[in-house]
Chains A and B, each alone.
Chain A
Amino acid sequence: MKFINYLEKINGISIYPIISLVLFLTIFVVVVIYALRASDKTISEMENLPLDEN
């Protein structure tokens, strides 16, 4: 029920911020590569979605 600190110590805590940075950068690079490689046709189809209503 109550809230406990399960570990007494943690080693190599500095790895946590590094994990977050690496994870983010990986996602970012992948997304950028995708966005740049997406075909113009798809993009124009997508960006016109809000305007294409009847």
Chain B
Amino acid sequence: MELEKFSYDNRIPKLFAIATITWGVVGMLAGVIAAFQLAFPALNLGIEYTTFGRLRPVHTNAVIFAFVGNAIFTAVYYSLPRLLKTPMWNNTLSKIHFWGWQLIIVAAAITLLAGYTTSKEYAELEWPIDIAITVIWVIFGVNMMGTILTRRERHLYVAIWFYLASWVTVAMLHIVNSFELPYSALKSYSWFAGVQDALVQWWYGHNAVAFFLTTPFLGMMYYFLPKAANRPIYSYRLSIIHFWSLIFIYIWAGPHHLLYTALPEWAQALGTTLSLMLLLPSWGGMLNGLFTLRGAWDKVREDPVLKFIVVAVICYGMATFEGPMLSLKNVNAISHYSDWTVAHVHIGALGWNGFLTFGMLYWLLPRLFNTKLYSTKLATTHFLIGTLGIILYAVPMYWAAFRTYFMMSAFTPEGQLQYQFIDVVQSMVPFYALRGIGGTIYLIGVLLMVYNLIKTAKSGKFVAREEASAAPLTKTYTAPKKAHWHSLIERKPVMLLVLSFIAVAIGGLVEMVPTFLVKENVPTIASVKPYTPLELHGRDIYIKEGCNNCHTQMIRPFRYEVARYGDYSKAGEFVYDFPHLWGSKRTGPDLARIGGKYPDSWHFNHMLEPTSMAPGSVMPPYPWLFEKELNIGSTNSKIHAMRKLGVPYEKGYEAQAVADLKKQAQKISDNLAKEKIKIPSDREIVALIAYLQRLGTDIKASKISGK
């Protein structure tokens, strides 16, 4: 058969690689600053744009979608054409994808710092950006499918399955979780409330980890590890089993983020069981990676690329062992809301995602520039201090988590809580500082890499196109007689796409449909009423300032939580919470029943200077809330949007809402005046106080009606 000539484009992978490195440094720097803010609150700088509540989402989004995202695209745009022996389908789409994604990242950073956030973790971006993400993601998918359909290699290598499954699942997750009703140019309310919102959010959150941080990286492992070691993967059979069982199980495991919450018991049990089973395919994948190096470990001693990949795969193994353990209810009781979760995700992010990306970059850059790595020694140093950074990050966090648990759950012989919350906070400060140092060391390693790679690029000449040739696919293909049905799937990418979609969609449906459709699962509480207009504004300020990054609103049914925060939370209390604000980390105390616990003046002083009310607090002050006037112009559209979502405000309540708001604000202002605090009733702080004083008070008023 005649060979066709074509060329692989290296410009797009180069652009994505540069973006990976750039955003990696930015995202990690944001993380280091945020880490030190917890130890030294002065680093919040006293201005709204740099407080922890706004910086943390910038860090998580930058690392996940900018650093890891661009790394995935680098890998796909480099490996997909080579595995399929054809150039990428459409170069214009590739460019739109690249620039569109970078634009989204910039827009994300600006809006998050400005306080435009949905509050849903790893999905904080507001609706216009959500739409942009969808468009760019579809362009990426079209380009990928186009390439696959014009390929010259009949079989799809396992890495491509992982890319495809990741693409289709992320599309599904993003669209479902981003259902929101806009009420202004940049703000919206979640379509779902309370328990349902939490379930969708953590179905998304968990699978964002699975299908953005894990499966595309497994595709990278299956491509770059054999390349770097110059030998095929240990067992291709195992990779087939790895793929199908992993995507099939991952999708069910979301509810393990909501153990002991107001989520129905059966959903929690499902989450735990499937999370435990997840251990097997994950370790199958890890061993497949490590066994690839059997008999070649001497290469690992010399090659920094292999060092990074090996430690990345080991970290993958550690994190995927820890994950199922954390899904056991008794372990989760300790880990949830604590720094354990933070340590766990950083083993994944720093070890698995970071190191695999570094390995790929050290391998790829010299090839793109047709030269040798500038300094192997420097890369080895990067590897060593990077590893040290991970250890210094993780160990203090694990220690902190257990210390928190023991202090939180300690009772005196008289049956009183032994420690105040603030005691726990203060004992955490040294650990927060150590963690910041660990992160800094890791970042220094990355800077070494930046230097090394720039030097490498300068020492060579960029190869914009690589010429190649291959025979075209024959139109008529007859499978060998003994061919199996699965080889049919491998040849038919569309079928593979559809089958993986069915696999993940069934998981999502079984997990969510019952809680969604069945009224019984969210018992109503008659005394739970919608928020007043002022409280609604206050709630939006709570979201804007990112309070949910440190404060939970979900009391678990444990003696030490009930004694500390009040009666445990019930599903019916959150029916008007669009979105839910349960939170996932308790750096500060739970606020589910803060209403009425302190006088208005306490909240006033505390928001102005937290240490005046809680000496030793690491919360930053919020002085701008005392200067900014509340934007009451948006009241009507908020009420209108809420009614559309199902909150029972009376028809025509908009006409009365602003008057009600002013009345309630005046009452709080008068109340404060009695304690010699002068504040005009039109300030943002007044709305926030109204919201905080409302929290949890509905259920105090009366017993649960009905169920």
Q: A: which residues have CB within 8 A of B?
A: 1-10, 13-14, 16-17, 19-21, 23-24, 27-28, 31-32, 34-39, 42-51, 53-54
Contacts and interface: CB of A to CB of B under 8 A. Distances in A.
A42 B154 CA distance: 12
A28 B244 contact: yes
Nearest to A36: B237
Contacts of B252: 20
Interface string B184-209: 00000001110010000000000000
Contacts of B155: 45-46, 49
Interface in B599-652: 644-646
Contacts of B226: 47, 50-51
A1 B644 contact: yes
B442 interface: no
Given A34-B240, A35-B241, A49-B83, A7 B518 contact: yes
B266 A16 contact: yes
B269 A17 contact: yes
B230 A51 contact: yes
Contacts of B468: 53-54
A10 B518 contact: yes
Given A5-B517, A34-B240, A38-B484, A20 B510 contact: yes
B561 interface: no
Contact of A3 (B191, B248, B270, B518): B191
B568 interface: no
Interface of B: 79, 82-83, 85, 153, 155, 157-159, 191-193, 196, 222-223, 226-227, 230-233, 236-238, 240-241, 244-245, 248-249, 252, 266, 269-270, 273-274, 277, 468-470, 482-487, 490, 503, 506-507, 510-511, 514, 516-522, 644-646
Given A24-B245, A46-B158, 16 more contacts: A2-B646, A5-B517, A5-B518, A7-B518, A8-B518, A8-B519, A9-B519, A16-B266, A16-B514, A28-B248, A31-B244, A35-B241, A36-B237, A50-B222, A51-B226, A53-B82
B694 to A, nearest CB: 23
Given A4-B646, A28-B244, A49-B83, A34 B517 contact: no
B644 A31 contact: no
A43 B517 contact: no
A27 B500 CA distance: 12
B159 A35 contact: no
B264 to A, nearest CB: 8
B681 to A, nearest CB: 33
Given A43-B236, A49-B153, A20 B514 contact: no
A34 B486 contact: yes
Contacts of A37: 484
Contacts of A45: 155
A4 B274 CA distance: 28
B237 A7 contact: no
B269 A3 contact: no
7 contacts: A7-B517, A8-B520, A27-B248, A27-B503, A46-B236, A50-B82, A53-B468
A9 B520 contact: yes
A52 B161 CA distance: 18
A19 B157 CA distance: 31
Contact of A47 (B227, B232, B273, B487): B232
A7 to B, nearest CB: 5
Contacts of A54: 468-470
A33 B273 CA distance: 24
Which applies to chain B's interface (DSSP): helix, strand, loop or mixed?
helix
Q: Which of B157, B193, B483, B645 has the most CB of A within 10 A?
A: B157
Given A21-B273, A27-B503, A43 B153 contact: no
A1 B179 CA distance: 12
Contact of B249 (A1, A5, A24): A24
Q: Which of A2, A16, A20, A23 has the most CB of B within 10 A?
A: A20
Contacts of B644: 1-2
A8 B214 CA distance: 38
B486 A2 contact: no
A16 B193 CA distance: 23
Contact of A38 (B192, B237, B510): B237
A13 B515 CA distance: 10
B238 A35 contact: yes
A50 B227 contact: yes
Q: Which of A10, A21, A35 has the most CB of B within 10 A?
A: A35
Contacts of B506: 20, 23
Given A10-B517, A20-B270, A47-B232, A31 B484 contact: no
A2 B483 CA distance: 51
A21 B272 CA distance: 12
B244 A42 contact: no
Contacts of A2: 644-646
A13 B266 contact: yes
A21 B490 CA distance: 25
A4 to B, nearest CB: 7
A5 to B, nearest CB: 4
Contacts of B227: 50-51
Contacts of A32: 241
A39 B153 contact: no
A37 B484 CA distance: 8
Contacts of A35: 237-238, 240-241, 486
A27 B269 CA distance: 21
Contacts of B82: 50, 53
Contacts of B485: 34
Nearest to B223: A50
A49 to B, nearest CB: 4
B645 A3 contact: yes
Given A24-B248, A31-B244, A38 B269 contact: no
A28 B157 CA distance: 20
Contacts of A50: 79, 82-83, 157, 159, 222-223, 226-227, 232
B517 A6 contact: yes
B291 to A, nearest CB: 13
A25 B240 CA distance: 15
Given A17-B273, A38-B487, A48 B232 contact: yes
Nearest to B247: A27
A34 B241 CA distance: 9
Q: Which of B85, B244, B511 has the most CB of A within 10 A?
A: B244
Contact of B192 (A3, A19, A28): A3
A10 B510 CA distance: 13
Contacts of A4: 646
